[in-house]
Structures are given as structure tokens and as C-alpha cells.
């Protein structure tokens, strides 16, 4: 797998890296606003449609980005994770903006097999994350298999592995793997930030 050095100077590359980072942090900001009350719900409601529009635009300007971000949506929908008003507003914004793009500007073909692979990986990540959250054995045990499972599903690594696999097959360019890693890391950092805010408020 060689690197196309011309991509280093491609503005689309930097857009995807920045956009995925904003999307990952934005999702957790909304989650934390409603689930943990770490941030203002009113601000989250205002931010949600803007995040939805950015999500839809990022998804629809490139068929690979379509595949990755649609897989994320399908995984959380199937698992029932769209569970607050702000996420529902964001999802509605994605749908409306997507329809506008498809019918009035341009639509992209879905990469069906990668979509099925990534959706399945994302769904297993969500299920695994729920299991380690509710099963205290993973947090209490010092055994390697428990600690590794806690780390693996705590950071939802299976979808990253699936994207790496597709990259190695030459179907996706390498920078979409980097973009998705930034997506997840931004989500995790926002989670850490929201937890620190809650602890400071309690103290």
C-alpha cells in the first residue's frame, strides 16, 4: 500500500480530517448534554442540526465517506442509540440535506459490501461496549482477556480494524482510516472533558 504524496496537498484530505474530528466531538457533546448534563441542552439543540448538515455534506461529497458515515448511522440506529431529541434533530437534518443533495445536486453510489462489513463491525462495537459497561466483571478483573476486551470495545476498535482491512484491500485510501481514528479520538476526548466537568461541579 503506497502513499500518494499528491494527496498531502489535497484540500479535500484536510477537510475530511477536520470534519470527522468535529463530528466525533460533536456527537459526544450532545450525548453528554442529555445523558450526563455536562453541557447546556439548549446549546446542544442548536448545535445538533448544524452537526447534521456537516455530517450529511461530509457523507455525500465522497462515496467512501458515504459508506463510513452511513455505516455509523445504521449501527447506532439498529442498536437504538438515537435516544434524545438533539440526536433526532441531527438525524432529521442529515436526511433532509441528503435528499436535497441527491435530487438536486449529485448522489454517490453506495459501496454495498464495505457498507455491510462496516455496519456489522459498528453494531458489534456497540453491543460489546454495552456489555462491558453493564458487566462489572470487566472492570474488576485483572485478567488479560477482561482488560483487553474492556480496552477493545471501550474504544470501539472493531470498526477501525474493518476500515483498515478495506484500506489494505485498496478499496479505501489510507487517509479515511486516519479520519475515522480522529473521529473516535475526538469522541473519547470530549467524553473525558465532560466527565471532568461533572466531577468539578460535584466537588
- Over the range 163-184, which residues count as b (16 or more CB within 10 Å of their CB) and which as e? bbbbbeeeebbebbbbbbbbbb
Query: Which pTM value belongs to this model?
Result: 0.80
2-16, 25-39, 62-76, 136-150: which has the highest mean pLDDT? 62-76
Contact (CB, 8 A) for 149 and 128: yes
Q: What angle do CA 19, 111, 62 make, to 5 degrees?
A: 30
Looking at the predicted structure, is the pLDDT value of residue 127 above 80?
A: yes
In this predicted model, what pLDDT tens digit does every residue of 43-79 receive, in sequence order?
888 888 888 889 988 988 888 998 999 888 888 887 7
* pLDDT per position as a tens digit, 136-176: 665 566 676 767 777 777 777 889 999 999 999 999 999 99
Amino acid at each position: 500500500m503506497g502513499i500518494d504524496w499528491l494527496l498531502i496537498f489535497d484540500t479535500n484530505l484536510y477537510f475530511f480530517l477536520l470534519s470527522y474530528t468535529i463530528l466525533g466531538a460533536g456527537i459526544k457533546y450532545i450525548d453528554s448534554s442529555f445523558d450526563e448534563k455536562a453541557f447546556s441542552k439548549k446549546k446542544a439543540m442548536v448545535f445538533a442540526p448544524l452537526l447534521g448538515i456537516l455530517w450529511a455534506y461530509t457523507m455525500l461529497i465522497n462515496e467512501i465517506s458515504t459508506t463510513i458515515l452511513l455505516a455509523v448511522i445504521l449501527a447506532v440506529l439498529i442498536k437504538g442509540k438515537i435516544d434524545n431529541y438533539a440526536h433526532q434533530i441531527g438525524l432529521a437534518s442529515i436526511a433532509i440535506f441528503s435528499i436535497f443533495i441527491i435530487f438536486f445536486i449529485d448522489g454517490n453510489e453506495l459501496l454495498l459490501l464495505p457498507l455491510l462489513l462496516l455496519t456489522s463491525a459498528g453494531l458489534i462495537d456497540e453491543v460489546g461496549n454495552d456489555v462491558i459497561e453493564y458487566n462489572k466483571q470487566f472492570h474488576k478483573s485483572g485478567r488479560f482477556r477482561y482488560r483487553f476486551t474492556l480496552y477493545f470495545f471501550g474504544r470501539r476498535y472493531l470498526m477501525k480494524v474493518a476500515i483498515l482491512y478495506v484500506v489494505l484491500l485498496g478499496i479505501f485510501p489510507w487517509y479515511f482510516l486516519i479520519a475515522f481514528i480522529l473521529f473516535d479520538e475526538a469522541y473519547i476526548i470530549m467524553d473525558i472533558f465532560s466527565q471532568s466537568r461533572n466531577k468539578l461541579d460535584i466537588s
